[in-house]
Amino acid sequence: MYTDKVMEHFTNPRNVGEITDPSGVGEVGNPTCGDIMKIFLKVEDNIIKDIKFKTFGCGAAIATSSMVTEMAKGKTLDEAEQISNKAVAEMLDGLPPQKMHCSNLAADALKKAIEDYKKKQAV
């Protein structure tokens, strides 16, 4: 059902945890499946220097959270904002159709964290 990459990111997720004093935080949830994702960013000079996640959900939700943090780390905010749910799924060598909504959550949580950072900068 799941690809080897999905299983690898589920059993050995990268960047799990919280960042104290984050530059931005994004949280999304899907009430239908119960998945909740929270992404924390540390931004310096417009670059994502550190990124962590906390996810409550299925294996696909954890794997997509892990993958999106790997994809965003070290990127500029503009580059990270371009990460799509489709790109996350492709980097995991695909997700079962009934789990595609999980990749949507990961990309959405990243975008919300970037939005939060930008709002804080505008104050």
pLDDT per residue as tens digits for the range 65-93: 999 999 999 999 999 999 998 999 999 99
Q: Can you give the pTM of this predicted structure?
A: 0.93
**Residue 33 catalytic?**
yes
| Residue 71, pLDDT score | 98
Per-residue confidence band for 99, with pLDDT thresholds at 50, 70 and 90: confident
Active-site residue (options: 102, 105, 107, 110)? 102
Domain boundaries, the chain: 4-122
Which one from 7, 16, 25, 33 is the annotated catalytic residue? 33
How much of the chain exceeds pLDDT 70, in percent?
98
Fold for domain 4-122? Answer: Sufe protein. Chain: A (3.90.1010)
Find the farthest-apart pair of alpha carbons in the chain and give their distance in angstroms, rounded: 46
What average pLDDT does the chain have? Answer: 93
pLDDT at position 52 over 90: yes
For the record, the structure tokens of 85 come out as 């749910």
* Residues 6 or more apart in contact with residue 94 via CB below 8 angstroms: 3
